[in-house]
Amino acid sequence: MITRPLELASRLRPEPRSLDWLFFVNAGLLVLFFSLFGSRFVLAPGLSLDLPQVSGARAGATHTTHYLSVTRSGLILIKAGPVSLAELKIWLATEAAKTRHPSLLVRADAKVPYGDLTEIASAASKAGFEPVVLAAEEPAAGAGGGD
């Protein structure tokens, strides 16, 4: 009894050589690329803040040496990552000692409680930051906000 009548297996090309090493080269190059040219925010979602709108916000703009962001949930973000208020006070004192004339920009969401902002501003002033600037956006033309 013939089980393989056309003997197709004998007419096939031989299997290609194994290219498993190429997978490891590609993975290594990806790791090298992200470690050299990436940052810790490459794959992380962006931070979206709804800044308050104030007339004359651009006229009051100034250059600052440091910045931090505060979200509506109370999360405080500095360059090194999220911190608590106690850790923020330590960071402010350390950074004020490093810089000649330190100034701070606070990028806070419009829904952040005013008490939290005043606590951050007073901690920054005690640490030696002068001025402490609250970020705001100029209202869009034709919008009736800010007054």
Q: Is residue 95 part of a domain?
A: yes
Tokens 């007073």 found at: 122
How many structural domains comprise the chain?
1
Range of the domain at 118: 66-134
User: pLDDT 10s digit of each residue in the chain, 147 long?
Assistant: 566 777 877 888 887 777 778 888 999 998 888 777 766 555 555 667 777 788 877 777 788 888 898 888 878 888 888 888 899 999 999 999 988 899 998 888 888 888 888 999 999 999 998 888 888 887 877 655 544
Q: Is residue 7 part of a domain?
A: no
CATH of the domain at 104: 3.30.420.270
Q: Which of 95, 122, 90, 121 is nearest to 108 (CA)?
A: 121
Q: Which residues contact 88 (CB under 8 A, 6 or more apart)?
A: 68, 76, 78, 120, 123
Q: Is residue 145 part of a domain?
A: no
Q: Is residue 108 part of a domain?
A: yes
pTM for the full model? 0.61
